[in-house]
């Protein structure tokens, strides 16, 4: 009975999404799919060479935290279901392992694919990508639950239940986490191809979560995924990301929605259909990761000083 109810509801949601997409396309003359190539890149970026990619990778491998009680930087991936949070971890992991890996379960199943809280450490690197369940229109993420995650009270492998959020009575509650257990940077993961059809409910959820993040003074980044779906040119070759007006427009729109400077919106293409690593994809992912780690440094420095 519940299954039937849920699937009818999902069907309605899908229809609503399709309607919004259609309306948008009609009113914009397929603007989202039309690519106007700009002559000059709209943002300075790393050269798309293998040597440069290797250099970036090495620098991140050498990344170290300096505060005594913080040895590993914790970056939380937060976003709507299917935005590409787990795929981002898989992409980073693939780059550092030197081959395509699918360690984290990914997919589009109507509800969140990620059901457990995971703190993935990539190799022996000094950073962790913390992956959690995605929120939905009708199953928002509880802001109290987010507070516990940010403050380091939630144990790894905690099983999310949208009906029963985490509390200080939940199994495994970590009582006195130190700075090393807390989140040091939040990366909002947003599906670039759905920015134009983002519902008011999802916008409101993002804003509500952002308030909780802001209360802790935590730095924020947006990982704008699925660039290949925004622009056919980028789909053909990711090195066209910074000359794509469609990607530029999506970055501006998301910066506006989130109230963040444009530079905090990092376009990425996750590994999803590739069988081999691609230098361009690596560079976008590594640039995004570096941006997060630079912000972690500033945050921890500030925390240690006060």
Ligand X SMILES: Nc1nc2c(ncn2[C@@H]2O[C@H](COP(=O)(O)OP(=O)(O)OP(=O)(O)O)[C@@H](O)[C@H]2O)c(=O)[nH]1
Site residues (vs ligand X, CB under 6 A): 79, 81-87, 106-108, 112-114, 133-134, 189, 225-226, 228-229, 269-270, 272
List 135's β-bridge partners, or say none.
80
How much of the chain is in helix, strand and coil states, percent to nearest 5? 45, 15, 40
CB of 129: closest distance to Mg ion in angstroms? 11
Degrees, nearest 5: CA angle 145-191-143? 15
Q: Is 225 in the site for Mg ion (CB under 5 A)?
A: no
Beta-sheet pairing, 185-191 with 127-131: unpaired
CA-based nearest residue to 233, from 244, 220, 249, 248: 244
Looking up tokens 């639950």, which residue turns up?
145
Closer to ligand X at the Cβ: 101 or 297? Answer: 101
Q: Which stretch binds Mg ion (CB under 5 A): 14-22, 25-33, 59-67, 83-91?
A: 83-91
Closer to Mg ion at the Cβ: 130 or 197? Answer: 130
The listed partner (Mg ion, ligand X, none) that binds 153, CB under 5 to 8 Å by sort, is: none
Q: Which stretch binds Mg ion (CB under 5 A): 3-11, 81-89, 95-103, 196-204?
A: 81-89
Closer to Mg ion at the Cβ: 100 or 255? Answer: 100
Which residue number has the CB closest to ligand X? 134
The listed partner (Mg ion, ligand X, none) that binds 226, CB under 5 to 8 Å by sort, is: ligand X
Q: Is 86 in the site for Mg ion (CB under 5 A)?
A: yes
Closer to Mg ion at the Cβ: 114 or 125? Answer: 114
CB of 245: closest distance to ligand X in angstroms? 19
The listed partner (Mg ion, ligand X, none) that binds 229, CB under 5 to 8 Å by sort, is: ligand X
E strand residue ranges, 4-112:
73-79
CA-based nearest residue to 119, from 70, 90, 156: 156
Return the exposure string of 161-177: e unless at least 16 CB atoms fall within 10 Å of the residue's CB, then b: ebeeebeeebeeebeee
* The two structure tokens encoding residue 58: 């090495």
The listed partner (Mg ion, ligand X, none) that binds 267, CB under 5 to 8 Å by sort, is: none
Closer to ligand X at the Cβ: 185 or 300? Answer: 185
Degrees, nearest 5: CA angle 134-77-279? 115
Contact between residue 287 and residue 56 where contact means Cβ atoms under 8 Å apart: yes
Closer to ligand X at the Cβ: 67 or 143? Answer: 143
Binding residues for Mg ion (CB under 5 A): 85-86, 113-114
């Amino acid at each position: 009975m519940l299954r039937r109810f849920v699937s009818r509801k999902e069907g309605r949601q899908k229809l609503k999404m399709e309607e919004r997409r259609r309306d948008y396309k009609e009113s914009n003359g397929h603007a989202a799919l039309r690519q106007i190539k700009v002559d000059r890149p709209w943002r300075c970026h790393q050269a798309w060479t293998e040597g440069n990619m290797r250099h970036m990778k090495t620098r991140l491998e050498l990344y170290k935290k300096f505060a005594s009680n913080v040895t590993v930087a914790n970056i939380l991936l937060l976003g709507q279901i299917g935005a590409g949070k787990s795929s981002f971890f898989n992409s980073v992991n693939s780059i550092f392992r030197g081959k395509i890996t699918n360690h984290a379960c990914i997919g589009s199943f109507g509800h969140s694919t990620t059901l457990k809280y995971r703190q993935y450490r990539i190799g022996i690197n000094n950073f962790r990508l913390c992956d959690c369940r995605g929120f939905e229109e009708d199953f928002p993420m509880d802001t109290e639950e987010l507070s516990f995650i940010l403050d380091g009270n939630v144990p790894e492998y905690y099983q999310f239940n949208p009906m029963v959020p985490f509390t200080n009575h939940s199994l495994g509650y970590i009582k006195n986490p130190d700075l090393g257990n807390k989140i040091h940077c939040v990366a909002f993961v947003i599906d670039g191809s759905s920015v134009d059809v983002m519902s008011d409910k999802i916008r409101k959820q993002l804003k509500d979560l952002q308030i909780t993040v802001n209360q802790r003074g935590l730095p924020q980044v947006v990982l704008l995924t699925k660039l290949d779906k925004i622009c056919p040119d980028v789909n053909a070759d990711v090195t066209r990301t910074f000359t794509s007006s469609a990607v530029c427009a999506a970055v501006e729109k998301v910066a506006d929605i989130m109230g963040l400077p444009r530079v905090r919106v990092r376009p990425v293409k996750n590994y999803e259909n590739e069988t081999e690593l691609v230098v361009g994809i690596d560079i976008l992912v590594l640039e995004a990761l570096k941006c997060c780690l630079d912000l972690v440094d500033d945050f921890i420095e500030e925390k240690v000083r006060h």
